[in-house]
């Protein structure tokens, strides 16, 4: 008898559920998402189509810098902005789980056993009196399920899936941005180290020149003015050297934040960079959109907004739900599980708000406007992607040309200094010629270091513009 009662209750609830799931396969209302077409080009203005493969996910290794490799590992494990992005991704998946739950029936079970006493006044007013104490036993189950005839729930899930995919790739987007920022700060600091090295070499030269001017003055071969000029040049170079200390410290502290370290306990030993930046081919514009995480995120946000239009439009149609409940109830435990104690109810519930002050119409307009905003955002992201690559290629090309020009400038300035220094030592040239040639050589060397720094920065910029090692 107990088994028969249980199976009867389950059949009572299961049959309508199967019917509801069958009805829920109707066509969805609202637009279906499609990726908008985008204007592209055959090639970049400032590059060649020589891209043969994707960049590695560990793209920074193309620079061959072991310290940078170590810092990138620390960023992955210690950066708090990256952790926040991962938390946002988890939130998006949790929201998707909530949305998916509406695809299934909401089934709950209840049970109670109560001992009650009736009011004496109630008993006095009833014919024949009534028992003052009695028991009540109940076991039951209830079901509620929205029959998704118009696709409101499925569109809601579609939106959640798109948002979750966007949040997943947003982690890659944030990671790439942080990695690029770390690389830029690192190379900016290293090229300050290179400038500092140049200035220290210039200090040594100026100390030698000051010693020479002092000796010549003591020997009566020149005036005290040459000594004063030599001291002035030495002090000026020392001041230039000191002026680079604060920017370097600031970059070092920025790196500490990126790798999740306290700046007070973090330091990087100085080290100059001698070589040039590696070459990173850009490929063709047609390859770009599939390799940019921000483009993928924008496209998924657009898909989510498209699904939200369907959710809003479904509110115009009746909301049909299947409501059912069943169980057993008795005041005696002896017949509690008998069929005669069973009770149930089952049937559809239709909800169609007749008038809500045009709220549903406004919700559709809101969803459409948000979709238009997402579409504009996607198209803007696409255009920005192409411009980012073009800007990086132009910056790298300009830096390379400047490096080449500065190499000639250094060669000419060094020759000028050697000649003026030799002529001054022979007493046939003014010390002003030495001062001018020293300044020209120092400026040329510093400018060449700065140009190489810009080449490294442009390379990092290009890698980021190409999407790093992102692959989806």
Report yes or no on 452 lying in a domain: yes
Report yes or no on 347 lying in a domain: no
Report yes or no on 330 lying in a domain: no
Say what the pTM is: 0.84
Q: What is the spatial distance between Cα 75 and Cα 266, in angstroms, rounded to a whole number?
A: 14
What is the residue-level pLDDT of the chain in tens, covering all 472 positions? 444 444 544 454 455 555 545 555 567 888 899 888 888 887 888 765 554 467 888 999 999 999 999 999 999 999 999 999 999 999 999 999 999 999 888 888 887 777 777 776 655 555 555 557 777 778 878 888 888 888 899 999 999 999 999 999 999 999 999 999 999 999 999 999 999 999 999 999 999 989 988 998 888 888 889 899 999 999 999 999 999 999 999 999 999 999 999 999 999 999 999 999 999 888 778 888 888 999 999 999 999 999 999 999 998 888 888 888 777 776 666 666 676 667 777 778 888 877 777 888 999 999 999 999 999 999 999 999 999 999 999 999 999 999 999 999 999 999 999 999 898 888 888 888 889 999 999 999 999 999 999 999 999 999 999 999 887 6
Report yes or no on 370 lying in a domain: yes
| CATH number of the domain encompassing residue 64 | 1.20.1600.10
Report yes or no on 213 lying in a domain: yes
Q: State how many domains the chain has.
A: 1
Report yes or no on 268 lying in a domain: yes
Report yes or no on 80 lying in a domain: yes
Spatial contact of 334 and 178, defined as CB atoms under 8 Å apart:
no
Q: What is the spatial distance between Cα 189 and Cα 255, in angstroms, rounded to a whole number?
A: 10
Report yes or no on 67 lying in a domain: yes
Domain with 234 in it? 27-106+149-318+360-465
The 3 state secondary structure assigned to the chain is CHHHHHHHHHHHHHHHHHHHHHHCCCCCCCCCCCCCCCCCCCCCCCCCCCCCCCCCCCHHHHHCCHHHHHHHHHHHHHCHHHHHHHHHHHHHHHHHHHHHHCCCCEEEEEEEEEEEECCHHHHHHCCCCCCCEEEEEEEEEEEEEEECCCCHHHHHHHHHHHHHHHHHHHHHHHHHHHHHHHHHHHHHHHHHHHHHHHHHHHHHHHHHHHHHHHHHHHCCCCCHHHHHHHHHHHHHHHHHHHHCHHHHHHHHHHHHHHCCCCHHHCCCCCCCCCCCCCCCCCCCHHHCHHHCHHHHHHHHHHHHHHHHHHHHHHCCCCEEEEEEEEEEEECCCCCCCCHHHEEEEEEEEEECCCCCCCHHHHHHHHHHHHHHHHHHHHHHHHHHHHHHHHHHHHHHHHHHHHHHHHHHHHHHHHHHHHHHHHHHHCCCCCHHHHHHHHHHHHHHHHHHHHHHHHHHHHHHHHHHHCCCCCCC
């Amino acid at each position: 008898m107990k088994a028969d009662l249980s199976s009867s209750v389950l059949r009572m609830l299961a049959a309508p559920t199967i019917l509801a799931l069958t009805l829920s396969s109707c066509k969805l209302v609202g637009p279906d998402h499609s990726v908008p077409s985008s204007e592209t080009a055959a090639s970049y203005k400032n590059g060649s189509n020589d891209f043969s493969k994707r960049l590695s996910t560990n793209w920074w290794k193309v620079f061959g810098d072991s310290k940078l490799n170590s810092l990138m590992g620390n960023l992955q494990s210690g950066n708090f902005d990256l952790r926040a992005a991962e938390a946002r991704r988890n939130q998006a998946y949790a929201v998707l789980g909530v949305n998916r739950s509406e695809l299934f029936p909401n089934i709950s079970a209840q049970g109670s056993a109560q001992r009650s006493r009736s009011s004496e006044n109630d008993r006095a007013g009833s014919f024949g009196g009534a028992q003052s104490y009695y028991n009540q036993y109940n076991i039951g189950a209830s079901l509620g399920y929205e029959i998704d005839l118009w696709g409101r729930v499925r569109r809601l899930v579609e939106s959640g899936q798109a948002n979750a995919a966007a949040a997943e790739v947003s982690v890659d987007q944030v990671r790439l941005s942080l990695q690029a920022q770390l690389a830029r700060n690192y190379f900016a600091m290293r090229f300050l180290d290179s400038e500092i090295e140049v200035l220290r070499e210039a200090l040594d030269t100026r100390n030698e020149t000051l010693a020479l001017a002092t000796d010549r003055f003591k020997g009566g071969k020149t005036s005290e003015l040459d000594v004063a000029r030599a001291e002035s040049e030495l002090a000026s170079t020392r001041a230039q050297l000191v002026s680079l200390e604060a920017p370097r410290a600031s970059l070092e502290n920025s790196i500490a934040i990126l790798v999740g370290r306290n700046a007070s306990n973090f330091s990087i030993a100085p080290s100059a960079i001698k070589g040039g930046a590696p070459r990173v081919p850009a490929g063709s514009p047609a390859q770009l959109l599939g390799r940019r995480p921000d483009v993928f995120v924008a496209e998924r946000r657009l898909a989510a907004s498209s699904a939200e239009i369907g959710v809003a439009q479904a509110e115009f149609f009746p909301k049909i739900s299947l409501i059912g409940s069943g169980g057993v109830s008795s005041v005696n435990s002896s017949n509690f599980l008998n069929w005669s104690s069973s009770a149930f109810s089952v049937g559809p519930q239709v909800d169609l708000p007749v008038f809500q002050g045009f709220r549903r119409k406004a919700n559709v307009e809101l969803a459409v406007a948000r979709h238009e905003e997402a579409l504009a955002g996607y198209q803007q992201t696409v255009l920005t992607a192409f411009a980012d690559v073009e800007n990086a290629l132009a910056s790298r090309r300009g830096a390379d040309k400047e490096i080449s020009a500065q190499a000639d400038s250094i060669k000419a300035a060094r020759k000028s200094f050697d000649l003026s220094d030799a002529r001054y030592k022979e007493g046939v040239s003014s010390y002003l010629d030495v001062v001018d040639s020293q300044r020209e050589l120092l400026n040329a060397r510093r400018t060449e270091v700065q140009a190489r720094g810009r080449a490294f920065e442009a390379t990092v910029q290009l890698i980021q513009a190409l999407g790093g090692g992102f692959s989806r």
